Every structure is written in C-alpha cells, then in structure tokens.
Amino acid sequence: NDVEREFTQVFATLFPGGEGRLLLTNPDDMLTTGIEVEARPPDSSDSLLIFLPGGEKSLTAVAMLVAIFRARPSPFYVMDEVEAALDDVNLRRL
C-alpha cells in the first residue's frame, strides 16, 4: 500500500498531468499475486506499459524504483546509467 502511494506521487512528479497506479493482480491471495503497473502520461490514452514509447517506459521504471526506495528507505542506493534509455524530453523530466 505504501509503495503504491509513493508510486502515484513519484509518477505525478515525473509526468505532470499524468496518472500512475500499481494494482495487485490477485488481491485475495497475497502469496501468488502479481503487480500490474498502470501508467498514463499526459496526452496518452493508453495505460498499459507495453504501448508506451521506450523513454516513457524507462521513466516509469525509475518511478517504480524511487517509490520502493521511498517506502522502504535504505542508507544508500547505487544506480548506474539510469538515464541511458531516455530521450531528451524524458531526460529533462528526470
């Protein structure tokens, strides 16, 4: 629940006017459930990750990582070349 809340906030920061959510695929069985990522950047009608351009997919993945980091803090994080797959528009958002 806290990761989902953080993801919603981080996604809205990276994509102003967009909407991101995390959904459990089987909330009745926490041992076998998966996580579905819904990401709808501004001016986009699709929310499925598979239909997003590469830069927006990458930035959504960064939003997911940052949400986990914020929900479960650690003394430090090491991330290498996070921006490698980002185009100029999405790089400025980072």
Question: How do the domains of the chain map onto residue ranges?
Answer: 2-93
> Going by CATH, does the domain composed of 2-93 fall within 1.10.10.10?
no
In angstroms, the CA 89 to CA 94 distance is 9
Q: Assess whether pLDDT exceeds 90 at residue 9.
A: yes
Buried b (16+ CB within 10 A) or exposed e, 5-44: ebbbebbeebbeebebebeeeeeeeeeeeeeebbbbbeee
pLDDT over threshold 90, residue 72: yes
- Nearest to 15, CA basis, from 48, 58, 51: 58
The whole-chain average pLDDT of the chain stands at 90
The pTM (predicted TM-score) of the whole model is 0.86
Lookup: tokens for 85: 């797959």
Task: For residue range 37-48, list pLDDT tens digits in order.
Answer: 999 998 887 777
CA distance 31 to 49: 24
